[in-house]
Amino acid sequence: MKFKISLLFFVIALVSCKNQKNQTKEKQVEKIEVSIEKQENNPVIRHMRTADPSAHVWEDGKVWMYTSQDMEDATFYDSMDGYHAFSSTDMVNWTDHGEVLHSRDIPWGAKGWMWAPTAIYKNNKYYLLYPHSVKGSKDDMRCGVAVSDVPQGPFKDIGWIKGVEGQWLDPCVFTDDDGKTYLYWGVREPKMALLKDNLLELAETPRSIAYGAENFFEASYMHKYNGKYYYSYNAGLGGFYAMGDSPYGPFEYKGAINPKQRQDHHSIVEYKGQHYFFYHWQGWNGGSKFRRNTCIEYLYYNEDGTIQEINATKEGVQKIK
């Protein structure tokens, strides 16, 4: 009898131990799943410092972005040099196609001073438009133009746009549905003008942009969604925007996109049914306002067309399957 009781306790203990092991396994699986969902994908480029991402979906079905490059020892923006091209089909894994344009390739400019680029596909070619200093100052920049037959470059400089000179400019190029191409630029006072098809000349006198506020600082950006034009920019302490019915405006001020970012130089694309917000962040791995890294967040529109406020996250966006 004593033996039977002991055996019964042994079986109960064995079953209990087995159940505990199964529960432990379930907990381990649950932890792994949670950790996958919370995987940190920002910044998306980590092997080098990149800023000012100009994102585009070209005809090859890939997302492309062209970025400026910050140096690891930078204490100002004068050492920025060497634009890079990156491509992706899943928004998480990016191919670095290398340096596509460097200040040594520009006969009219100084060493370094390769600031925020913008890109466009037109005339069956790919173009980079970029601010670059003539003699080495933030106050003597021109809007250079470079061209390539393929999105990955390299790009060849073909000159600059007369009438677009001055402080660091931060150009953005936008092509409307009718094929007309506009340039937006400026510091503290936003300007815009229609471009000629050669992209080297203005087709009209530049005009100031009425955007319904007085907080513009730099980094003009234009995109279109559901027939509305969205003029957005960096206010010095985050990104803000306004909406209008024409690429010229006037625009109705709507407020913040990502106001908690100290710096903001963004671009926006739709890819495979989802909208994405590209920007740079200075908070990763010892970064600073001179050492930044490219990040991506989801972007959502409300029913009235306004944009839901974006917060910078370490999670970023998930891989498209």
d(CA 186, CA 169): 5
The separation between CA 46 and the C-alpha centre of its own chain, rounded to angstroms, equals: 14
DSSP character at residue 317: -
Annotated active-site residue 218? The verdict is yes
Contact present, 117 and 69 (Cβ < 8 Å):
no
Residues in the chain: 321
User: Which listed residue (70, 157, 170, 218) is catalytic?
Assistant: 218
Cis check: omega of the bond before 250, within 30 degrees of 0 = yes
Nearest to 147 by CA among 169, 170, 130: 130
SS3 230: strand
Per the omega criterion (within 30 degrees of 0), is the bond before 43 cis?
yes
Residue 181 backbone phi and psi in degrees, to 5: -115, 135
Q: 3-state SS of the chain: helix, strand, coil percent to 5?
A: 10, 40, 45
Burial letters 252-263, b for 16+ CB under 10 A, else e: bbbebbbeebeb
Please indicate whether residue 201 is annotated as part of the active site: no
Considering the candidates 52, 81, 157, 170, report the single residue annotated as catalytic: 52
Enzyme catalytic residues: 52, 218
